[in-house]
Amino acid sequence: MNIIVLWLLVTPLFFAFGWFAGRIDMKTVIKQAKSLPQRLFDSVDALIDNKTGIASDNLRDIIEQEPQLTELQLSLGKLYRNRGENDLAIKLHNKLLNSQYLFSGDEKDNVRLELARDFQHAGLIDRAESILLKLINSELYSHKAQDLLLDIYQQDKNWKDAIDTAKRLATSDYSYHTEVAQFNCELAQEALIKSDNEQALKFINYALEINRKCVRANLLLGEMYFAQENYNQAIETWQLIEKQNYLYLPMIVEKMLDAYMKLNKTKEGLTLIKGYATLYPKLNLCDFLYQKLALYDNADSALDYLKETIRVQPTSKIAAIMVDVYINRENFIPELRHEAEMVKNILLKYNEKLSNFRCGRCNFKSKTFFWQCPACYEWESINPNNSEN
**Residue 362 CB, nearest distance to Zn ion (Å)?**
3
Using the rule CB under 5 A, is 379 a contact of Zn ion? no
**Residue 155 CB, nearest distance to Zn ion (Å)?**
16
State the binding string over 319-358 for Zn ion (x if CB under 5 A, else -): ----------------------------------------
**What's phi and psi for 366, nearest 5 deg?**
-155, 155
Cβ contacts of 312 within 8 Å, gap of 6 or more: 281
Q: Out of 108, 202, 212, 361, name the contact with Zn ion by CB under 5 A.
A: 361
Q: Out of 169, 343, 354, 362, name the contact with Zn ion by CB under 5 A.
A: 362
Q: For the chain, state the CA radius of gyration.
A: 33
Nearer to Zn ion, 111 or 359 (CB): 359
In angstroms, what CA-CA distances link 238 with 62, 161, 225? Answer: 62, 29, 10
Distance CA 40, CA 232 (A): 69
Distance CA 126, CA 293 (A): 54
Nearer to Zn ion, 89 or 150 (CB): 150
**What's phi and psi for 365, nearest 5 deg?**
-120, 145
Could you write out the DSSP letters of every residue in 180-220?
A: HHHHHHHHHHHHHHTT-HHHHHHHHHHHHHH-TT-HHHHHH
**Residue 356 CB, nearest distance to Zn ion (Å)?**
12
Q: How many positions of this chain bind Zn ion (CB under 5 A)?
A: 7
SS3 at position 119:
helix
Distance CA 222, CA 228 (A): 10
Nearer to Zn ion, 260 or 379 (CB): 379
Q: Out of 128, 135, 256, 359, name the contact with Zn ion by CB under 5 A.
A: 359
State the binding string over 274-313 for Zn ion (x if CB under 5 A, else -): ----------------------------------------
Distance CA 115, CA 90 (A): 6
Nearer to Zn ion, 168 or 365 (CB): 365
Contact 348, 316 (CB under 8 A): yes
Contact 187, 160 (CB under 8 A): yes
**Residue 190 CB, nearest distance to Zn ion (Å)?**
24
**Residue 371 CB, nearest distance to Zn ion (Å)?**
12
Q: Out of 155, 376, 383, 388, name the contact with Zn ion by CB under 5 A.
A: 376
Using the rule CB under 5 A, is 253 a contact of Zn ion? no
Using the rule CB under 5 A, is 375 a contact of Zn ion? yes
Using the rule CB under 5 A, is 373 a contact of Zn ion? yes
**Residue 64 CB, nearest distance to Zn ion (Å)?**
40
Q: Which of 356, 345, 347, 348 is nearest to 387 (CA)?
A: 356
CB atoms within 10 A of CB 262: 16
DSSP state of 172: S
Nearer to Zn ion, 270 or 359 (CB): 359
Using the rule CB under 5 A, is 72 a contact of Zn ion? no
Nearer to Zn ion, 86 or 381 (CB): 381
Nearer to Zn ion, 247 or 272 (CB): 247
Nearer to Zn ion, 288 or 371 (CB): 371
Nearer to Zn ion, 238 or 364 (CB): 364
Cβ contacts of 284 within 8 Å, gap of 6 or more: 250, 355, 385, 386, 387
Which residues make up the interface to Zn ion (CB under 5 A)?
359, 361-362, 364, 373, 375-376
